[in-house]
Structure 1
């Protein structure tokens, strides 16, 4: 599955939860995210989703 998550628009926490809900529903074997954000610290969408 590939997905352009549109970087960090709107509320990042709400967007992260929405992305996670879709991934849980679809259960893809492989995910490639485009425009996934990272602030260089702990706030990294791809890393956070990978831990779930």
Structure 2
């Protein structure tokens, strides 16, 4: 996993978690759902990079 991709995935996960928490606290379902989607996207990106690393070695 390249450092840039790893950082990008983590940033996306943190950003999504923040949006999700803010959306929940404000009662904004759309913002909470958007945050959840962003978290999942970051998680998928991280999983993809880990899989690529596993097959490199």
Confirm or deny a common fold (TM above 0.5): no
The normalised TM-score by structure 1 is: 0.35
The normalised TM-score by structure 2 is: 0.33
**Structure of higher CA gyration radius:** 2
Name the structure with the higher strand share.
1
